[in-house]
C-alpha cells in the first residue's frame, strides 16, 4: 500500500521535477540579489572615485594652478571618463579662462 503511494508520488518524476524547480528558483533569486548588491557596490565605488578625483582637481587648481598639464590630465579623466560635472564645471571653466587656455574638445562648459 505504502509502496503504491510512493510510486504514485514519484510516478513520472513529477516530485523530482517539482523539487528541482524549487531549488532552481531559489538559486535564481539568490543570484539576482547578489547581482543587485554587486551593482550597488560598483555604483558606490564610482561615486567615491569621482569624489576623490574632484578633490584632487580642486587641490591642483588651488595649490598648483600653473601645473597645466597635470590639471588638464586630471580634468579630462574626471569630465570624460567618469562623466563628472557637478560644481566643478564652472570652477574648471574659470581656471581655463584665467590661464587663457582654450576649452578642450572633451570639456563642455555649458553643462
pLDDT digits (tens, 9 = 90+) for 1-15: 666 655 665 555 666
Alpha helices, DSSP H, located in 64-110: 68-76, 88-98
Query: Is the model's pLDDT at 104 over the cut of 80?
Result: yes
Domain that includes residue 6, residue range? 2-98
Coil/strand/helix, residue 11: helix
> What would the grid cell of residue 56 be?
584632487
pLDDT digits (tens, 9 = 90+) for 56-67: 999 999 999 999
- Domain assignment present for residue 107? The answer is no
Amino acid 36: pLDDT: 92
Name the pLDDT band for 73 (thresholds 50, 70, 90): very high
Structural domains counted in the chain:
1
Amino acid at each position: 500500500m505504502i509502496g503504491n503511494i510512493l510510486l504514485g508520488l514519484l510516478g513520472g518524476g513529477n516530485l523530482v521535477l517539482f523539487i528541482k524547480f524549487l531549488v532552481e528558483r531559489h538559486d535564481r533569486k539568490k543570484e539576482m540579489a547578489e547581482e543587485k548588491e554587486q551593482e550597488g557596490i560598483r555604483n558606490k565605488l564610482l561615486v567615491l572615485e569621482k569624489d576623490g578625483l574632484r578633490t584632487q582637481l580642486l587641490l591642483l587648481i588651488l595649490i598648483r594652478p600653473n601645473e597645466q598639464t597635470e590639471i588638464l590630465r586630471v580634468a579630462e579623466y574626471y569630465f570624460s571618463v567618469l562623466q563628472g560635472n557637478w560644481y566643478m564645471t564652472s570652477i574648471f571653466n574659470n581656471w581655463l579662462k584665467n590661464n587663457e587656455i582654450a576649452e578642450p574638445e572633451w570639456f563642455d562648459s555649458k553643462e
